[in-house]
Structure 1
Amino acid sequence: MILKSMMRLILTLGLFVMFWGGEARAQSCTFSATGVNFGAVDVLGSSPKDAAGNIAISCTAFLDLLSSIDMRIHLGDGSGGVSGSLRRMTGTATGLNYDLYQNAGRTTVFGGTYGTHGGSSLQLTGSGVLSLLTTTGVNVPIYGRVPAGQNTALPGNYLSSFTRNPLDVRVDYRTCSLLLICTNRTASFSFNVQALVSANCRVVADDLNFGTTGFLDQAVNGASAMRVTCTSGSSYQVGIGYGLHGTNVNDRHMQSLTGRRIAYQLYRNSGRSQTWGLLADGLTAAGTGTGATQNYTIFGRVPAQTTPPPGTYADTVVVTVTY
């Protein structure tokens, strides 16, 4: 009786070890990720800014016992949360919207069921995937995009962190052996999404045309429009140079093809009492960016002077925005 009991104990123990060893071979996987770094983002531009990161997955397993794997990767909102239908990076009072996608076309949002943002989780399944996971590993791209139209974003560094938190990142996967022994596991990893918005300005100026005149025995006035767009909160100064034929702010000339000249001047006010020059002259127009276009008028005057021979007279001046 004692011998039979001992044999039964040994056989039971041996059966337990065999099944426990089978589950051990059903193995866990390792996950790591590189961040999505957008670098410098021009929020005044009309095009989105794209970047990409990568999730590296590898599993070590005995392929003779494992036959399939089903894996779902869920990405939540990130530490910056969401704004409307997009994820959001924080860092200044305004924040910066972005999103993460499963495809290079940025049409399928990379989301999941553990966050509030929505989108869909990424599924990896099948024996073919398992073979890659356990031999060369699998790299899963994360495609990011900062959409255009965020010109009110303040300059600064922006960040959203995806930490080892089930609401940020979660991987659910199930491995099954040929013996139909299945193991359910969860895992996580972390990465950051970041961007830099630098102070920036853009300027567009229309041509100033004084028209046609027969004599310069009296002043001829003209005006043109200029549009300045600077990032929100950025202080700037708008200066205008001396032209191709001038040497200082009081020496501006239009010139004909024959080399004859007509003197003219540019002003910041309609009364034509505030000359427009460079920052070094202290004769600029100051402003603070709002992210929207701000309009300026360039007032020009050709003073009375000796009338030169008939012809077309022209000059080119450079508008400089210092910020």
Structure 2
Amino acid sequence: MFRLILILAAPLFFFLSSGPAQAQAANCSFNVSNVDFGSVDTLAGAAVDTAATVSVSCMPVTGARVRACISLGAGSGGATAGLRHMLSGADILDYNLYQDAARTIPWGTRLDPSLGTPVALDFSGAGGTQNINVYGRVFGAQQAASAGLYTSSLTATDVMLNAVDYGGVPSDCSAIMTNTKTAGPVVVQAEIDANCFVAAQNIDFGNQGGLAADVDSTGEIDVTCTPGLGYTVALDNGLTGTGPTTRQMALGGDAITYGLYKDGARSQPWGVSGAQRLSGTGAGAAQTLPVYARVPAQTTPPAGTYSDTVVVTVEY
């Protein structure tokens, strides 16, 4: 008896998809310029923008294309809730770095997603160099920041590039951890200048039937200075006055004598000499300084509207 056995050997085929093949052989270099905001006037309350340059050169080793991912971290100033900080001693100035000129897409790092995402650059098989901007913004409404130089240093742990060769669909930057290159330090800095704003309210003594008795009134001067900044406020003698208590409101050839004072008792004249000035320290917000005015009893001049102009000077 013969037994015939026919064995059918089915060929086995393995299909490999052309997904994100990463041959970890890209050759890249890069550098990032410093981010300098220059002088920042925090009292103005507006944002201040600047830009720096990122230059990336890549050459694929395998002949495929290259994806390079550039990460920018928080730096020595740190970050809170996605906002980076520059420091001047214990004082903080908030800023951020962005991928776009509209400052809507934060430039971050794969190591800290709260800062945003890295920037991905793709290079053809021929390789080359790409120059792009990193856009910076110091946020407005930071009047509480004192004058001084604010800095943050982005070191090698903050400024990184990861790259891969690829032949199909490139991976997202969050998954590219090969061929790490670092740069830095990249210095981010801004100088807050000492500054003051001043606004004055007119003083009106009202309508008077005569000047046989003292007539008092008050006004206000609002001074806004950088926090911690010492300042003095001087009031000149007006157009024709000879001293802080002998200023004159005039109408033609006639005049009414009056004085301006620092205190409600009208005992401390407010003028231009050292002791007559009023001193203060800036707080980053408007400080209201009362001005106490007095027309002393005197001979009543002809009826009419009498006026004078006093110049307010803030020195710091």
Same fold (TM over 0.5): yes
Letter in 2 for 1:175: D
Out of 93, 109, 113, which is 2:110 matched to?
113
Matched, 1:217 2:209: no
Deviations 1:234-292 (A, max 9, x none): 12212111112224334311122x342221110001111110011x3421111122223
- The answer for the alignment partner of 1:243 in structure 2 is 238
- The answer for the alignment partner of 2:44 in structure 1 is 45
Out of 223, 226, 234, which is 2:221 matched to?
226
- The answer for the alignment partner of 1:145 in structure 2 is 137
**Mapped partners of 1:117, 1:271: distance in 2:** 58
Q: How much does 1:229 deviate?
A: 1.7
**C-alpha contact (below 8 Å) 1:204/1:228 kept by paired residues:** yes
Q: How much does 1:61 deviate?
A: 6.4
Q: How much does 1:88 deviate?
A: 0.6
Letter in 1 for 2:155: T
**Mapped partners of 2:68, 2:248: distance in 1:** 73
- Give runs of aligned pairs for residues 90-169 of structure 1, distance below 5 A: 90-115=87-112, 117-125=114-122, 127=124, 134=128, 137-165=129-157, 168-169=158-159
Matched, 1:288 2:281: yes
Out of 190, 193, 196, which is 2:188 matched to?
193
Unaligned runs of 5+ in 1: 1-22
**Mapped partners of 1:32, 1:317: distance in 2:** 57
Secondary structure of 2:310's aligned partner: coil
Q: How much does 1:141 deviate?
A: 0.8
**C-alpha contact (below 8 Å) 2:72/2:108 kept by paired residues:** yes
Letter in 2 for 1:170: M
**C-alpha contact (below 8 Å) 2:83/2:115 kept by paired residues:** no
1 or 2, which has the higher helix percentage?
1
Identical aligned pairs, as a percentage? 40
- The answer for the alignment partner of 2:29 in structure 1 is 30
Q: TM-score, structure 2 length as denominator?
A: 0.82
**C-alpha contact (below 8 Å) 1:88/1:160 kept by paired residues:** yes
Letter in 2 for 1:202: F
**C-alpha contact (below 8 Å) 2:245/2:260 kept by paired residues:** no
Q: How much does 1:126 deviate?
A: 5.3
Secondary structure of 1:44's aligned partner: helix
Q: TM-score, structure 1 length as denominator?
A: 0.81
Matched, 1:270 2:264: yes
**Mapped partners of 1:248, 1:84: distance in 2:** 56
**Mapped partners of 2:99, 2:130: distance in 1:** 14
- The answer for the alignment partner of 1:13 in structure 2 is none
Out of 295, 298, 307, which is 1:302 matched to?
295
- Give runs of aligned pairs for residues 50-69 of structure 1, distance below 5 A: 50-59=49-58, 66-69=63-66
**C-alpha contact (below 8 Å) 2:26/2:163 kept by paired residues:** no
**Mapped partners of 1:184, 1:93: distance in 2:** 38
**C-alpha contact (below 8 Å) 2:59/2:66 kept by paired residues:** no
Q: How much does 1:199 deviate?
A: 2.1
Letter in 2 for 1:228: V
4+ residue segments displaced more than 3 Å = 59-62
* Aligned-residue CA RMSD (Å): 2.4
**Mapped partners of 2:196, 2:113: distance in 1:** 36
Deviations 1:44-85 (A, max 9, x none): 2221111111111223569xx734221211111111101344
Number of corresponding residues:
285
Out of 150, 153, 172, which is 2:162 matched to?
172
